[in-house]
A and B are shown apart, each in its own frame.
Chain A
Amino acid sequence: MKFKLLRIVLTLLLMTAFCLSAIPAYANKITIVTTLTDLADLARAIGGDLVEVHSLATGVEDTHGVPMKPSFVPVMNRADLLILVGLDCEHAFLPALMEASKNPRIQKGNPGYVDCSKGVVPRDVPKSTDHSEGDVHPYGNPHYMLDPVLAKTALSNIFNAMATVAPQYIAEFTSNRDAYLATLNAKIAQWETKAKVLKGVKFVSYHEHWPYFAERFGMNYFGTIELKPGIDPTARHIEELTAAMKAQHVTIVVREPQFPEKTPKRIAEQTGATLVTLPIMPGGVPNTETYIKMMDYIVNTMVAAVQAGK
């Protein structure tokens, strides 16, 4: 009797699963999940009203430390596209979430898996992935979105993915993308003009977020407060960094808002450098809700720091 009941319950559960999974979870809009807020902004810019975009990060998190919330799973389960930074940026939370989502459309190798790093030539690809070098990214530094020119590569990848899953909207997507590109290109020209004063300026940051930004605007990225990627600084490392900064006239200390202020502030005080807090994705600090606003904020803050130091 007990086994008969068990069999009936199991059969009912399976039938319900198949019936419910056949119900379309979304209407006409394309459901997009992005890992970070910059990608969400680009997806919204291309998709407009035709897409429903969810970002796993809200903007204040560390790009490598978005909490692995089960509430992400249902929305990932019904997503048509999963847009990610790639280059192992999301390795701490995304693989497990993807598996838990049970959504074959967004698994690697399928059209719904959109790696925005495709076409980006990565910087700082490590020769070894040995942990003595810290939590290194085996494919290279993944923070290319802080270079607005490389953000255009991400934009292109998102556009291609949207055009693949919804070719009926390609005209709208093209028009939206072109409009956004025109705005972005104008802003890039503006940022490059403003950033002329940044050329050759040396700076340090807490985590290695800024090599692409430094290269784009001609800055000299001197080092990090972290001992190695993901490894907190030791007293000796801070001492050596401080001495080197003084000797090399490093004038700016960048603190990403998800890291504690105490150590960057102390280093800035000891070296006479200017401490600035810069977001690493939209929403990281107030008035940076979009990618362009965020880049505006970063360039303006850097320029102001340099001018204040003169």
Chain B
Amino acid sequence: MATFRIFIMLSALFLTASLSYGADLDERLKALEEVSKQQQKVIEEQQRLIEGLKQDLNKLQAGEPQKSTETQVLELKEKVDQVAEAQTRTIPSVFNPAIGFVGEAVFSYRSKGASLTGSSRPGGFDAFARSVELNAAASVDPFAKAYIVANASADAATGEATFSIEEAALQTESLPGNLTVKAGRFFGEFGRLAYIHDHELPFVNRPLVLAQYIGGESRTDGVQLNWLVPIEHYVSLTVGAGNQFGGDVPPNNVGDFRRAGGLNYWGRLSSYVDITPDISLEPGVSGLWNPKTVDRGGSFTQPDGSTLSERERRLTGVDLTLSYKPLRDNQFTSIIWGTEVLYSHNRYDEVNSDGLAFSRDIGSYGLYSYLAYKFHRQWSAGFLYGFVEDAQDNTARTYEYSPFITWSLSHWNQLRLQYTYTNHNAVSGLRPDNAVYLQWAWIIGAHSHGWQQR
């Protein structure tokens, strides 16, 4: 019995040892297989390297040049440049054409009604969405660019938005001889502020003399040629011709056949002098001439009962801008004094109260002068003085006095508060008026820093 037990124990021990040895052998076998696989991979990798080296050797023997480190660096740099360039290239397409909106609202209180002030806006409290402008500009081709300014503003009578194309013009960019041609609808270059949009003026309203003699912005349908005189000093000469100029609605002399004399012709000569690095002077002279106007603005009845019909329009102007802009902190401090004197000398057909008709020339003049002081990056203040004689009756005179203060929260968000006292002499038949304006102007989208607004 004891022998049987010993046998059973020895058998169990042997079986256990055998099984254990078998498992160990299996693990070792698997490990050997793994090592063999890895070695196989290494051999294959080495084989590929050998093949590659053989190919390089063959190329070298065949005289094919190898890439140096410098070449590889240059190639890498080129790739980085391409990435950087691609990064910048995507941005302009966002604004192609460059598109921006400008909005402007004017809140005001006037002490007198429209009938007593001659204003197109009512007296008392008024909120006026003066304009919303859509600006778009882009190159047409390598030779020209084009731009459009579409405007929607609230109609004074109905309050409904009226849409108009303020500007839509093509401008050459590669003419020889320092010449540029602009054609289409645009603001003709006359004076210093007439061809600047309302919201870009240094004050809320266009000076009286520009409103009366030009009719607001100097809009025209026509063509304009500008020449930069090729001398050491800056001298710019502009001449143009067009259907109408300024506030003429409809265009002048619309009829069956318009001769050259029925068009408007204008020109401007301007220059610039650096008095010191910080102080500059910009003088300019301008002229506008329509040799033959027919019913521009209709007939005007004079106080003595006679009627006037304009037959020739002549307007000349002299402007001067003196600027102090310290180079170092011009974004924080500047003083600008701008003055413009206009002389209107129109010829009229006059029919007097006795029915006799004759030709009559009426000369009248007006001016504005303003001082704007920037005392902070966000703040500026100034004063505008204006005076104008009625173009049809030079004894009727109007004066304006306007202190204003401007708060520019940023380039694109600006508030302006202005008080205006307007006075008229007895001949004008109008009453003095006190008005307070709050203008809020904003820009979204693409914006450019234009030459005119410098």
A: residues with CB less than 8 A from B are 2-3, 6, 10, 13-14, 17-18, 20-21, 23, 25, 58, 60-62, 65, 67-71, 73-74, 77-78, 87, 91-93, 95-97, 99-102, 104, 107, 109, 118-122, 125, 129, 131, 134-135, 138-140, 230-232, 257-260
Contacts and interface: CB of A to CB of B under 8 A. Distances in A.
Contact of B277 (A20, A58, A93, A107): A58
Given A3-B261, A91-B449, A96-B451, A65 B234 contact: no
A140 B88 CA distance: 9
A78 B328 CA distance: 27
Which residue, of A69, A120, A139, has the highest number of chain B Cβ atoms within 10 A? A69
Contact of A118 (B81, B230, B327): B81
B230 A21 contact: yes
Which residue, of B179, B234, B332, has the highest number of chain A Cβ atoms within 10 A? B234
Contact of A135 (B173, B230, B271, B411): B411
Given A3-B261, A131-B412, A135-B411, A74 B87 contact: no
B84 A120 contact: yes
Contacts of A131: 410, 412, 444
B282 A17 contact: no
Interface residues of B, number: 59
Contacts of B329: 258-260
B138 to A, nearest CB: 13
B1 interface: no
A31 B83 CA distance: 33
Interface in B231-247: 231-234, 236-237, 239
B91 interface: yes
Given A122-B84, A230-B411, A258-B328, A100 B174 contact: no
A99 B329 CA distance: 25
27 contacts: A3-B261, A6-B265, A17-B227, A20-B177, A25-B230, A60-B327, A60-B328, A61-B328, A68-B454, A70-B234, A70-B236, A71-B273, A73-B234, A74-B233, A87-B88, A96-B450, A118-B81, A120-B84, A121-B80, A121-B84, A122-B88, A125-B87, A131-B444, A135-B411, A138-B91, A258-B328, A258-B331
Interface of B: 77, 80-81, 83-85, 87-88, 91, 94, 142, 173-180, 227-234, 236-237, 239, 260-261, 265, 271-274, 277, 280, 282, 291, 325, 327-332, 377-378, 410-412, 444, 448-451, 454
Contacts of B273: 71
B228 A68 contact: no
B177 A18 contact: yes
Nearest to B94: A129
Contacts of A73: 228, 234
Given A3-B260, A10-B239, 18 more contacts: A2-B291, A14-B177, A17-B230, A20-B229, A21-B230, A60-B328, A69-B272, A69-B280, A77-B178, A95-B449, A96-B450, A96-B454, A107-B173, A109-B142, A119-B77, A119-B81, A122-B87, A230-B410
A197 B265 CA distance: 70
A17 B175 CA distance: 12
Given A71-B234, A73-B228, A260 B410 contact: no
A127 B358 CA distance: 71
A67 B327 CA distance: 7
A74 B234 contact: yes
Contacts of A2: 291
A96 B449 contact: yes
A101 B179 CA distance: 10
Contact of B228 (A6, A102, A134): A102
A282 to B, nearest CB: 14
Contacts of B260: 3
B396 to A, nearest CB: 31
Contact of A232 (B84, B239, B377, B450): B377
A121 to B, nearest CB: 5
A121 B271 CA distance: 42
A78 B200 CA distance: 31
Nearest to B80: A121
Contact of A70 (B84, B261, B282): B282
A277 B397 CA distance: 55
Given A74-B232, A260-B332, A99 B84 contact: no
Contacts of A58: 277, 327
Nearest to A95: B448
Contact of B272 (A23, A71, A78, A125): A71
B178 A17 contact: yes
Contacts of B328: 60-61, 257-258
Contacts of A6: 265
